[in-house]
Amino acid sequence: MGLADDLVSDFSDDEELNSELITGSKGGSLNGGPSLHDLVNRQDLLAIDSVSGLSQVKPEVEKAIHKIGELIDKPVDKVLERDFLSKCNEILDKIMDEVVIFHTFVRIHYHSVFPELEALITDPVQYCQVVKIIGYTLSKSSKLEEELRQYLPQDKVLVVSMSASLQAQKNTQSLQEKEMQVIEEACDVVQTFVQNRQSILGYVISRVQVFAPNVTALVGPSVASQLIAVHGVLGLSHTPSCNIPSLGSKSGDPGYLYHCDLVQQVYPDFRKQALRIVAGKVILAARVDVTAGEDYSGSFGLKWRNEVTEKLEKIQAPPENGPTKALPIPIDQPSKKRGGRRIRKLKKQFEMSELRKAQNKMEFGTQEESTIDAFGEEIGLGLASKNSQLGKIRSIGSVGTNQAKMSKSMLARLKNKQGELNNLSEELVFNNPEVLEQKRSLEKSQK
C-alpha cells in the first residue's frame, strides 16, 4: 500500500479530500506528473521541474492552516472542533512521513558531494537544514559556522566543518547548478513542513486542554491529543488499559504512550512497567474528563501524575544499605552421647593413666627433673620423678583398663598363624634326614 492509499484510508470521512487523493494516486501525483514515491528512485534531477508540487499532503496542510487561523481566536466549540482536532493529528503524522521521503531524496543525491554528512547528522530535519546552508561549496563551510550554530550544537558544528574541509580537498563528484537547485527546493519543502507542523501542533495543544484537561495534565498535550484522535475522550474512557500502550504502534514501533515524558524519563529496563502504570491512570483521567463538565483545572491528572512519578522513583531506587547484623550467639552445648556399660568401658581404655597424671603435676618452689627421650627431646617428669625417688613409682603403675589390648578376632588369627608355623616346621624336619637324625639322637641322650 502506497502513501496515497494510506491517505485515502485515513480520511475516509472527508469525501472531497478523498476524491482529490484518489485522482492523485491514479495519475501518479496531484499534478499528473511523477508520484512522490518515484522521486526517491529518480536519477535524472534535470527532468524534475518542481519538487514541492509532488507533495501529497501539502493541500491538506494549507487547508488546515487556513482553518486554524479562523478558529484560533474564537471560543472553543467542542462539537465543531472535535473532528477537526482528529484530522490535525492525522496531518501531523503524514507531514513526518513526507519529511522522511524528502530527506531520503536529498540524502541519496547529495551523497556524491558530502558522503560523510549522513553519518554525522541522522536527524532528517537537521540534515536538510545543513545541506541548504552548505550547498556544494564545501570549502566555504568554515565561514558558515554562525549559520550552522542556529540548528546544531557547537560540537556538531566543529565536526561538520572539519569534515567538509577535508572532503573539499578530495576529488569528489560535483552537482550541476540546476541539480543543486532541485535539492535545495526539497530542503525548503522540509523546512516549510516543519513550520506548518509547529503551527498545527500549537493549535492541538491549545485545544486538547479543553477536551481532556486531566489526560493532558497526566501525559502532556502532544500524547493526549494523539490518544484522543484515535478514540475520542468517550471512547478512551471505555478502552481497557492493556490496549492503551499499543495505540499508534506501526510495524513494531512503540505507540503514542511510549513517547510520554513519564515513560521516557525512566531507565529502559523499567519502561514496560511504567507503561502499565501510566496506562491505568490514563483511563481514570479520561473517565473523569467525561463526567467533569466545565471543570478544566485538571486537578486529578496532576494528582495522579505526582503519584506515578513517586511510584516510578521507588521502583528505580537502589536497595537500601541496612546496618550489618551481628551473627547469632552460637549454641555451645555438649553433644549427647549414648551411655551404657559398653561406652563406659570404651572410655576407660582411653583415659589418662596415674603415671601421666603425676607427670603433669609440679611441686611449687622446686626444680622439675627432666629426661631425654629417644628422639632427643627433653621431657619433664613432674611429680613422677619424686615418686620414683621415694620408691612409689610401682604404686602409680598403669591401670589395667587402659593397657594395650587385642581383639578376639586378632587373637584367633594369631593363633591360626602360630599353628600353621608349627606344622610347617614339622614338615621341614621330617623331610630333612639330617635334621631328623639329630632330633632322634637328642631324644636318646635325654632318656
pLDDT of residue 12: 41
Would you state the cell numbers that stand for residue 273, as one nine-digit string?
512497567
> For position 15, what pLDDT does the model report?
39
Distance separating alpha carbons of residues 185 and 188, to the nearest angstrom:
5
Q: Above pLDDT 70, what percent of the chain?
A: 77
Residue 252 has pLDDT above 90, yes or no: no
> pLDDT digits over 318-358, tens only?
888 778 888 888 887 777 777 788 888 888 888 888 888 88
Q: What is the mean pLDDT of residues 100-114?
A: 85
Q: Where are the domains of the chain?
A: 1-112+175-210, 212-317
What tens digit of pLDDT does each residue of 173-217 get? 667 778 888 888 888 888 888 888 888 888 877 777 778 888 888
d(CA 251, CA 27): 28
For position 3, what pLDDT does the model report? Answer: 38
Contact between 275 and 263 under an 8 Å Cβ cutoff? The reply is yes
With a CB cutoff of 8 Å and minimum separation 6, the contacts of 75 are: none
Q: Is the dihedral of CA 247, 191, 182, 54 positive or negative?
A: positive
Distance of alpha carbon 323 from alpha carbon 235, whole angstroms: 52
CATH 3.30.1330.90 assigned to domain 212-317? The reply is: no
CA-to-CA separations, 421 to 325, 411, 414, 430, in angstroms, rounded: 71, 15, 11, 15
Can you name the residues that pair with 379 across neighbouring β-strands? 371
pLDDT at site 19:
38
pLDDT exceeds cutoff 70 at 377: yes
Res 281: pLDDT: 92
Rounded Cα gap, residues 372 and 384, in angstroms:
15
